Structure 1
Amino acid sequence: MAILGYARVSTLDQHLTGQIEALTEAGATTIFKEKVSGARADRPQLTKLVASLKAGDVVLVTKLDRLGRSTRELLDLIERIGQAGAAFRSLGDPLWDTSSSQGRLLSTLLAAIAEFERDLIRERTSDGRRRAQAKGIKFGRKPKLSDYQRAEALKRRGAGETLAEIAKSYAVDVSMISRLR
């Protein structure tokens, strides 16, 4: 069993020193360090930490926000840690200790709430989309070519003009002209 620490700061001019000291004092034998925004999905050191987990290991952070940028991401990471047979602890948030019954209960409750919230958001978004479509609002990108330009481009193709010439005259990609029907 190993205690693996994860320390992260958001910008290059911030320092990891305080987190590293706290994690070391709490018994972390290996500390994965990153200077990267929590908003970024690609955090290589966090990926290495999760990949290195073995049954019985403990992942340790100083505060919850060091691990995840959102409740959903945090819960997903804690679930992945649990699937590896490891536990999760946050020094600044004592209820977050998945090696205890209370910690597991808390993460289960929050996961259920996050799933419920996600379903509500999905329903509201879907309802809003349906209402907008009923009012005639179109979704997606605006067409680069008008109906007239599309008809004209088709005539030019039929007359033998090359796709590249037609595309250049409308400042669009050749593939757009080739897809016209």
Structure 2
Amino acid sequence: MPPISSKDLHRIFKKLDKNCDGLICLQELNWLLDSIGIQLTMEELESFLERPSLDFDEFLFFYESISKQNKGECKGGVAGCVQDNDNDQGQDDMEIVYLAFKVFDMNGDGFISCDELENVLVKLELWDASRSDVDYCRSMIRAYDTNLDGKLDFEEFKNMMLLTT
């Protein structure tokens, strides 16, 4: 299961699909990956996909493959990830959750602050940047912040992801 709920991934896909044809092109996909800190060249995308665009199911498959590659599990780049899919599903889920945590933990301190949460949600176009509703952001964190320190550690984030997917 992706670290972001299927509903949110579908919303991201729809926002990327500017002409509403049910497909996203390589440039749109590359923009999304860059915005969350995953660096791939257009050549790598073209080589892996062997097509000019993706439908939603292909987008999900690609997302899971990139998650595995970024975690360092795959040999041979993105294409190696596609061939290495006989891992235990529970382990795969935890690795994806860990990768998502690293995306949100922008400063690498092992915690997700309100500012970091807001920044990533803005980049994914799931948050209106002009809104800047700090109380709403804090309430999102507070809902899963079991030690009440005002930020999420990995265990708290993992529990949130397991409850919302």
Q: TM-score normalised by the shorter chain: which range applies?
A: under 0.3
Higher relative contact order structure (alpha carbons within 8 Å, sequence separation ≥ 6):
2
Q: TM-score, normalised by structure 2?
A: 0.25
The structure having more radius of gyration, on CA atoms, is 1
Structure with bigger helix share is 2
Structure with bigger strand share is 1
Q: TM-score, normalised by structure 1?
A: 0.24
